[in-house]
Amino acid sequence: MKTEPPRRRDRPRLPAAERRRQIIEVTTRLIAERGFWGLSMQDVADGCGLTVPGLLHHVGTKDSLLVAVLEHRDQADNRSLATALGAPEGTSRDDLAGAVSLPQACAAIVRRNAAQPEIVRLFTVLEAESLDPDHPAHDYFKARQENTIATFASLAEGRVADPETLGRQVMALMDGLQIQWLRDPERLDLVAAWAAVSPALFAAFPAG
């Protein structure tokens, strides 16, 4: 008298690429909510309609899942930002610097971020969590910080006295406003708040 026939295969079997997309999407949402330390493979598997070993078949380990999520976001971000700025696909950072000013770029970034709070939250949570040198994304976020500042600086190159410092300030202000916005989206309109403060930072910026 068996309790049950083994009812395997009641959930759909997806091609690897598609399943991977789903896994990354679910993981993105869950890390945004709980951070990487708070994330469990069981939760991800449940969210995908898989067992945990089924999940591990696609991603290997928890750490490499995090890496996959971050790489995917980087690509998506670069693509969407380039198009938001109206630049053709293969535009390098230096080419961009000639075509678009820092204030313009910031406005575009803020507008895009305001439309995807979940992604912003993913980065906000991981940015803080990864301050720990033992965190699997520690190096990634250190590099990301430097890269972001350098990109901002390159857009201000030759137009202000100290582009790197300005880049830092821009990044700091954006990050800080984002936290407040995430905690109380009703009260704070991110785009409006940025429009209100940013002129103070860009006071020395020509024609801005």
Question: What is the total count of residues that contact a copy of itself (CB under 8 A)?
Answer: 39
Backbone dihedral region for residue 11 (phi beyond 0: left; psi -120 to 50: alpha; all else: beta): beta
Task: Tell me: does residue 53 bind DNA (CB under 7 A).
Answer: yes
Task: Tell me: does residue 139 bind a copy of itself (CB under 8 A).
Answer: no
The whole-angstrom separation of Cα 158 and Cα 102 is 12
Tell me the closest approach of the beta carbon of residue 140 to DNA, in angstroms. Answer: 17
- Please name which of 173, 163, 168 lies closest in space to residue 198, comparing C-alpha atoms: 173
**CB of 74 within 8 A of CB of 46?**
no
Task: Tell me: does residue 151 bind a copy of itself (CB under 8 A).
Answer: no
Judged by CB, which is closer to DNA: 55, or 201? 55
Backbone dihedral region for residue 167 (phi beyond 0: left; psi -120 to 50: alpha; all else: beta): alpha
Judged by CB, which is closer to a copy of itself: 69, or 125? 125
Binding residues vs a copy of itself (CB under 8 A): 33-35, 37-38, 121, 124-125, 127-129, 131-132, 134, 141-142, 145, 165, 168-169, 171-177, 179-180, 182-184, 188, 193, 196-197, 200-201, 203
